[in-house]
A and B are shown apart, each in its own frame.
Chain A
Amino acid sequence: DAGVTQSPTHLIKTRGQQVTLRCSPKSGHDTVSWYQQALGQGPQFIFQYYEEEERQRGNFPDRFSGHQFPNYSSELNVNALLLGDSALYLCASSFSDNYEQYFGPGTRLTVT
C-alpha cells in the first residue's frame, strides 16, 4: 500500500514564475491538506481539499491555489513566485472526519 507521494522532490524557480506541485494521497483517503514549512518554523496550513472543493483555508494569499481531482490527488499552484515562497511544501492526506494526517516526503521549492 503506497503512502502519500509528492512530486517533484526538489524544484528551483525564478521570482515571478509559476509552479505546480502534486500530491497523491494514501489509499482510501479522501482529504488532502497542504502545508508550507519555512526554515525554523512549524508547518503552516495553506488549505484543505475534500470532494474536489476547498474546505478550509489558512492565511495565504490568492497566489496560492489548488485543485483536487476525482481520484483524490491534488495540486498546489503558486503564481508570481516571491523569494519568501522558498520552503518545504508538505502534503498530508486523511480520511474524511478522521483528521489524523499522513504526510508525504515534501517538495523543496527554492525561488531565486
Chain B
Amino acid sequence: ILNVEQSPQSLHVQEGDSTNFTCSFPSSNFYALHWYRWETAKSPEALFVMTLNGDEKKKGRISATLNTKEGYSYLYIKGSQPEDSATYLCLSVSWGKLQFGAGTQVVVTP
C-alpha cells in the first residue's frame, strides 16, 4: 500500500451504539500513526499518537489499536454520543513523509 486509506468514508450511528473504522497505511519506514478528530468549524484535534506494533490507546470512550506489520489501525467509539460527530483523520508518519487519509465522517443521531 502506498497511500493512506480510511474506510468507510462516512457512517451514521445511533446514539448509544458502538462503532469502529479503519486506517490503512504504508508499513515501510513506519515512524508513527496519529488519529485526529475534526469537528466542523474547529481545528483538527489530536486523539492519539501511536508508535509501537500492538499499541492500544484509550481516551474515555474512544480507543485505537495499531498493527505496523500489516499497516492498519482501528479506531473504536463505544456508546456513541452526538458530540462524537466529527471527521476522524489518521496521519501516517514515516521517514520523510507525512500522509493524511481522507477521513471517516461520523454522524451520531439521537
Choose, from B42-50, B66-74, B75-83, the stretch at the interface.
B42-50
Q: How many residues of B contact A (CB 8 A)?
A: 23
The closest CB in chain B to the CB of A57 belongs to B96
Q: Classify the interface of chain B: helix, strand, loop or mixed.
A: strand
Interface of A is mostly: strand
Which residues of B are found within 8 Å of A33, using beta-carbon distances?
98
Which residues of A from 59 to 110 have beta carbons under 8 Å from B?
90, 92, 98-106
Size band of the A side of the interface? 20 to 34
Interface residues of B, Cβ cutoff 8 Å to A: 4, 6, 31-32, 34, 36, 42-46, 49, 89, 91, 93, 96-103
Q: Which residues of A contact B (CB under 8 A)?
A: 4, 33, 35, 40-45, 48, 56, 58, 90, 92, 98-106
